[in-house]
A and B are shown apart, each in its own frame.
Chain A
Amino acid sequence: MGEAGGRRIVAAPLPNVVAVEALPDGRKVVLFDDRGTLKEIVFGIAAKSAPTMPRVSLPDRRANELLESLLDAEQLESWRRDGTFWVESRRGPVQLGRLYSLLHHPVDRPDDEVVLCVVPEGYDTLPRADIWSNLVLVLSTCPDAFFDVANVMGVRRRAR
């Protein structure tokens, strides 16, 4: 609870938070389970432009170089714009870029958007971009290995 601009603010915890992900523009995405339906809320104010170059560690820079070398032009533009990109597969496209919350549009269920969770083994030791390099290679070349282990976090109606 606090005061902001004369307004009284009450902070209540979101129930059933599944994941919190930082966006490149400074906002945060909170993914939560609302009685069986996965929903997202975006918090914060997007930075219009970065006032200074963010400090990037050497491992993060190297990982990002590898990832960007693996993306086609459209994926690269999307990655640089909002930190996500879509990967085509014979089972339908998958959006990479948000940990624990990979969106999938199954070819055989055109009205559904499935939220998947797939990670590399020991992913918590890897720079974030390496996680996406790992997943884009597996998904692009052997999608069965990706989908066979995927955990389904939720299913929702696809936005049109």
Chain B
Amino acid sequence: MGVMRIVDETGDSTLTWSREDEQSVVAAAEMFTRLAAKKHLPFARAAGAPADEAELVRHFDPEAEEIVWVRPVVGG
């Protein structure tokens, strides 16, 4: 079971998938594509691992435990 946590105004929205459930994998892959098109940044990590162990990823991997989506950063 994998989970996407998408930082937003609700704190974060979540989307889960299971490798045994093909529909959930397809839905997660589509979400990945949509968010990437919006230039959001996906960081994969082992569940609960600190930020310095996360990795910026370019493609959806159904084997990932957790993908945290954040927004691009700008100068304030």
> Hey, which bits of chain A sit against chain B, CB under 8 A?
58-63, 65-66, 69-72, 75, 87-88, 99-100, 117-123, 125-127, 130, 133-138, 140-142, 145-146, 149-151
Contacts and interface: CB of A to CB of B under 8 A. Distances in A.
**Count class of interface residues, chain B:** 20 to 34
17 contacts: A59-B11, A60-B11, A69-B48, A87-B51, A117-B76, A120-B7, A120-B71, A121-B71, A121-B73, A126-B8, A127-B9, A130-B7, A134-B7, A134-B71, A138-B70, A140-B54, A141-B56
A72 B52 CA distance: 9
Contact of A119 (B7, B10, B54, B76): B76
A52 B26 CA distance: 46
Given A69-B48, A134-B7, A117 B71 contact: no
Contacts of A99: 76
A136 B48 CA distance: 14
Given A100-B76, A118-B75, A59 B70 contact: no
Interface in B40-76: 41, 43, 48, 50-52, 54-56, 68, 70-76
Contacts of B68: 66, 70, 133, 137
B75 A137 contact: no
Contact of B50 (A58, A72, A121, A126): A72
Interface in B5-34: 5, 7-12
Interface of B: 5, 7-12, 41, 43, 48, 50-52, 54-56, 68, 70-76
A62 B41 contact: no
A141 B50 contact: no
A67 to B, nearest CB: 9
Given A66-B7, A100-B76, A117-B75, 17 more contacts: A60-B11, A65-B11, A70-B54, A99-B76, A117-B76, A118-B75, A118-B76, A119-B74, A120-B70, A121-B73, A133-B70, A134-B70, A137-B70, A141-B56, A142-B56, A149-B75, A151-B76
